[in-house]
Amino acid sequence: MAYDVTARLGSRFEVRAVHVGDRIDIKGIEPRLSPHLPVTVEVGSTGLAVIVRAGAVVLFNVDPIAQERFIADLGTRVQGLTQRQEVERVVIRTGEIDAVEPDALVMREITLERIQVLAEILGKSVVLSHYEIDIADAFTAIEPMAVQMKNTPGRLPWKQKDLVRTIGEAMLAEHSLVARAELLEKPDVLWDNSDLDRLYGRLEDEYELRERYLALDTKLGVISKAAQTMLDLAQAKRSIKVEYYIVALIVFEVVLAVGELVAKHV
């Protein structure tokens, strides 16, 4: 017998996707409502929660207090716990056809499999939102340095340790994004179900998952290259200064030697 999602959630309810960390360990979470991923469990008497391994929890018809309790109960399953939770909200209601309206997402049928598809999309979207903010901060740090370099090319306006930190942050973000390549993968629940595949494709386009992922990847490359170029310039300028000091020291020693020779012959 199929699980009756409408009987539990109703015909209109709120969904919240919360980014909680870098990854969530789903092993041993029971009882599951479906053998397919993502893991789906009941919360309270009227809610559902879907756990997306990439680091998000999507809660259907769950009040904020129960939400915080559920996330806290995940405990050490959450790897790389975030200090800044990104949240996306959407209202779901039933209708004659699947559609996206200004105030709600309309679904002609609410089943467990459709809930899982929606959770995958919202979970991936909120994870991307987390990276978008981090990378925007890195862009903010690089831009004024580049502007000053253009306006005052004879003087490097940054500290080397700041550049090293920026490069490190960009590398970590790039590594994390590459590790999240699953953000572009389709969930298991789509196998052998063309109707769900169409729904997933439509929602993926609506939330622009692929475009946002590729944009992040491009920005990371720009940040890393810009910071590395600035670091190379700083090191080159430092090397030139060292060479000047060496030349000055040699000249000084030559002058001293000449002075001693002159003094001996006087």
User: At which of 66, 83, 112 does a domain end?
Assistant: 112
Mark whether 103 and 83 lie in a shared domain: yes
Give pTM, 2 decimals: 0.75
Range 1-21 average pLDDT:
92
Q: Are residues 10 and 59 in the same domain?
A: yes
Average pLDDT over residues 40-66: 95
- Tell me if 76 is assigned to some domain: yes
- Whole domain around residue 91: which residue ranges? 5-112
Q: What is the rounded CA–CA span in Å between residue 31 and residue 39? A: 9
* CB-CB contact of 122 with 114 (8 Å): no
Within this chain, do residues 75 and 132 fall inside the same structural domain, yes or no?
no
What's the structural domain count of the chain?
2
Tell me if 159 is assigned to some domain.
Answer: yes
Angle between helix axes 194-206 and 112-151 (nearest 10 degrees) is 30
Token duo for residue 152: 């005052």
What band does 191 get if pLDDT is binned at 50, 70 and 90? confident
Same domain, residue pair 218 and 130: yes
Taking residue 128's Cβ as centre, other Cβ atoms within 10 Å add up to 24
Single residue among 79, 112, 145 that ends a domain in this structure: 112
Alpha helices (runs of H) in 38-181, residue ranges in sequence order:
64-74, 112-151, 160-179
Quick one: tokens of 263?
């003094």
Q: Indicate if 191 and 152 belong to the same structural domain.
A: yes
- Kindly state whether residue 217 falls inside one of the protein's structural domains: yes
Q: Report d(CA 42, CA 238) in Å as an integer.
A: 61
Q: Concatenated DSSP letters for 15-56?
A: EEEEE--SEE--TT--S-S-SSSSEEEEETTTEEEEEETTTE
Q: Quick one: 86 and 170 in the same domain? A: no
Q: How many CB atoms within 10 Å of residue 30?
A: 6
68/13 same-domain check: yes
Consecutive H or E run containing 199: helix 194-206
Do 53 and 93 sit in the same domain of this protein? yes
Judge if 145 and 48 occupy the same domain: no
Instruction: Look up residue 158 and give its DSSP letter.
Output: S
Q: Give the Cα separation of 158 and 182 in Å (integer).
A: 37
Could you tell me if residue 40 is inside a domain?
yes
pLDDT at 146 over 70: no
- Could you give the CA distance from residue 64 to residue 44 in angstroms, rounded to a whole number? 12
pLDDT of residue 69: 95
Residue % of the chain over a pLDDT of 90: 44
Per cent of the chain over pLDDT 70 is 66
56-60 and 47-52 beta bridge pairing: antiparallel
Looking at the fold, whether 227 and 194 belong to one and the same domain comes out as yes
Domain-embedded: residue 218: yes
More confident residue, 140 or 33: 33
Q: What is the CATH number of the domain that holds 153?
A: 1.20.58
pLDDT of residue 221: 74
> What is the model's pLDDT at position 153?
54
Within a domain: 249:
no
Does residue 90 contact residue 125 with C-beta atoms inside 8 Å?
A: no
- Asked if residue 261 is part of any domain, the answer here is no
Same domain, 216 and 198: yes
Query: Domain check: are 188 and 209 in the same one?
Result: yes
Does a structural domain hold residue 259?
no
The strands making up 99-101's β-sheet, listed across from edge to edge, are 39-43, 47-52, 56-60, 12-19, 87-94, 104-107, 99-101
Give CA–CA dist 64/69, Å, rounded: 9
